[in-house]
């Protein structure tokens, strides 16, 4: 209840800033800053009763999703945090100045950091960012960052997959009895977010985690991949290649193009498999990747069968008797199934005394 009242007072005070900014002058603000920071130390936690923790509210405003690297497992987002707390050493009730804007390095601030960051551990914000201080000690700090966080990628249903990634912000040095970080009322705000060409947000959430002496807030993003690009550039061409692979068996062995056709289709599968594999994690597999491997296996079988067929087609060796008998029986059965069939090749095959390998490979 105390937190809600404090936050409400902060909002009311902040709403009154345009009016209050016209009251007072630069000399008054200068004197106030001199008095406030005369004995102020950024190394002292600014609550007078150290038996109580410093309560810090944390919200995240998401500006955009820059990208998700499936191979490295890295999510890159742009946004800023809305951090609020009460500094009991920065209060005043004299004069007409109701708000001060000071560089962030001039005041105490919680050592918040992205715990699951992809790069080195670093402080949030820069000296360019100003912290807003109200006369009742309420501090509002908004560090803007490009966050690079680790994300466990599940590409089983690629390219129709959803990914859930966490951004974990933790107070690195202070114990939970010293600084207690809680999620604000908004959690993750996406009102100012720019749409991404590849990813769209499905849902967002925020939760507080208390692990031993550690206080942290976890922001969770569930994002959906836009699959249109992959459908038109990978999936549809692969389906067409699968159909072309079947037509290898339609080409006659005497055409001279059968082996080249089979190899071309096979190499096309290899190219698409290479493209897809380069965009996926090395330790995971997707149904689409397995489908490509199956098609690649059929391509290998087709090439082997085509090579064997051409080898037999030009062979001068005698055809074994049992193969001749099978061929003649097949011709008879084929003619008996429909009396209307008048296949000259099958008729000639039945009349031949010696069946050659050319007859065997040309038989339909």
Model confidence at 227: pLDDT above 80: yes
Model confidence at 199: pLDDT above 70: yes
DSSP state of 106: G
- Give the Cα separation of 150 and 131 in Å (integer): 29
For residue 356, what pLDDT is reported? 67
For residue 17, what pLDDT is reported? 39
Model confidence at 133: pLDDT above 90: yes
For residue 337, what pLDDT is reported? 47
Model confidence at 60: pLDDT above 50: yes
* Average per-residue pLDDT for the chain: 80
Model confidence at 107: pLDDT above 90: yes
Q: Does domain 228-362 have CATH number 1.20.58?
A: yes
Model confidence at 65: pLDDT above 60: yes
For residue 184, what pLDDT is reported? 84
Which of 173, 169, 172, 193 has its CA nearest to residue 183? 169
CATH class of 2-225: mainly beta
* C-beta atoms surrounding 223 within 10 Å: 22
Percent of the chain with pLDDT over 70: 79
User: Model confidence over 71-104: pLDDT tens digits?
Assistant: 888 999 999 999 999 999 999 988 788 899 999 9
Strand pairing report for 144-150 and 74-86: antiparallel
For residue 167, what pLDDT is reported? 94
Q: Which residues of 107-141 are buried (b: 16+ CB within 10 A; e: fewer)?
A: bbbbebbbbbbbeeeeebbeeeebbbbbbbbbbbb
3-state DSSP assignment of residue 122: coil
For residue 363, what pLDDT is reported? 58
For residue 139, what pLDDT is reported? 95
For residue 362, what pLDDT is reported? 60
Q: Domain-by-domain residue ranges, the chain?
A: 2-225, 228-362
Which parts of the chain fold into alpha helices (H)? 2-15, 17-20, 26-36, 228-230, 236-246, 258-278, 287-313, 321-337, 344-351, 357-362
Model confidence at 342: pLDDT above 50: no
Higher pLDDT, 69 or 316: 69
The 3-class secondary structure across 220-285, one letter per residue, is EEEEEECCHHHHHHHHHHHHHHHHHHHHHHCCCHHHCCHHHHHHHHHHHHHHHHHHHHHCCCCCCC
Q: 295 in the Ramachandran plot: left (φ > 0), alpha (ψ -120 to 50) or beta?
A: alpha
């Amino acid at each position: 209840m105390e937190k809600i009242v404090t936050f409400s007072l902060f909002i009311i005070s902040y709403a009154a800033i345009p009016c209050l900014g016209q009251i007072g002058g630069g000399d008054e603000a200068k004197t106030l800053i001199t008095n406030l920071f005369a004995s102020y130390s950024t190394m002292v936690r600014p609550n007078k009763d150290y038996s109580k923790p410093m309560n810090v509210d944390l919200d995240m405003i998401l500006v955009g999703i820059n990208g998700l690297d499936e191979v490295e497992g890295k999510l890159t987002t742009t946004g800023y945090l809305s951090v609020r707390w009460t500094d009991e050493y920065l209060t005043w009730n004299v004069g007409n100045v109701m708000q001060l804007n000071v560089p962030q390095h001039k005041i105490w601030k919680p050592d918040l950091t992205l715990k699951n960051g992809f790069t080195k551990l670093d402080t949030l914000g820069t000296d360019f960012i100003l912290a807003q201080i109200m006369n009742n000690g309420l501090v509002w700090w908004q560090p803007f960052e490009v966050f690079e966080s680790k994300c466990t990628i599940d590409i089983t249903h690629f390219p129709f997959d959803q990914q859930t990634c966490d951004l974990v912000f933790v107070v690195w040095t202070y114990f939970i009895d010293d600084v207690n970080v809680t999620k604000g009322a908004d959690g993750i705000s996406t009102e100012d977010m720019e749409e991404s060409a590849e990813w769209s947000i499905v849902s967002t959430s925020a939760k507080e985690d208390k692990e031993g002496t550690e206080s942290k807030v976890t922001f969770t993003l569930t994002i959906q991949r836009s699959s249109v690009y992959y459908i038109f550039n990978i999936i549809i061409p692969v389906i067409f290649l699968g159909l072309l692979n079947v037509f290898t068996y339609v080409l006659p062995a005497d055409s001279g193009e059968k082996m080249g056709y089979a190899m071309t289709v096979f190499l096309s599968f290899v190219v698409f498999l290479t493209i897809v594999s380069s965009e996926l994690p090395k330790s995971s597999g997707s149904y689409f990747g397995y489908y490509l491997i199956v098609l690649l296996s059929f391509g290998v079988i087709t090439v082997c069968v085509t090579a064997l067929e051409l080898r037999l087609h030009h062979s001068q060796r005698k055809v074994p008797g049992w193969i001749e008998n099978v061929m003649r029986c097949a011709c008879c059965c084929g003619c008996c199934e429909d009396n209307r069939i008048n296949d000259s090749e099958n008729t000639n095959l039945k009349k031949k005394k010696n069946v050659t390998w050319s007859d065997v490979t040309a038989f339909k």
